[in-house]
Amino acid sequence: MKQLLTTLLLFLASTTLFAQSYDWFIEQDSSETFQSKVEEVMKLDSTDNKRNFFIAAYCYNRSLDFINNMDYKVSLDELKIKQEEIMQYLRFSKKHFLKMEDEEYRKIDQYIIKNWTYFGLNDLEQANYYKAKIKENNAMDRMKKEIEGIY
């Protein structure tokens, strides 16, 4: 079943396009904590590292949560819907980490987000590049774990 998941991820990465609107992002979590954090970061300039890091990290965390809690006993159609959601998070994450200009801002967390996102989007060359950066910084123990402290 995991092979099927990988195949679906690769297929969706190459064929499915999603709207990358902020309305979609804001609707992801109705909790007061999340909504107040979104309100705070959306006031920042669109090139602000804090804003883009928050959005990229949140999307990374959500995609990781989806995969860690994936029910592989669902129908292929349900699995495809989940994969589409994961891909939307990964694309939105990539859109925002590419806007970050300060590579030193939470550097290790950036490497982890970039590694996971590129891997999920089937850009293995970039994924391996950031995996090597994570290894260089002795942070492999933080792989596939949530990014902490975003809210």
The pLDDT of residue 19: 33
Q: Per residue of the chain (151 residues), give pLDDT as tens.
A: 455 444 444 433 333 333 345 555 566 666 666 667 777 777 777 778 888 888 888 888 888 888 888 888 888 898 888 888 888 889 888 988 888 878 888 899 899 999 989 998 999 999 999 999 999 998 888 876 777 766 5
The pLDDT of residue 20: 41
Count H helices and E strands in the chain, helices first: 7, 0
Q: Give φ, ψ of 47 to 5 degrees.
A: -100, 0
How many CB atoms are located within 10 Å of the residue 150 CB? 19
- In angstroms, the CA 112 to CA 102 distance is 15
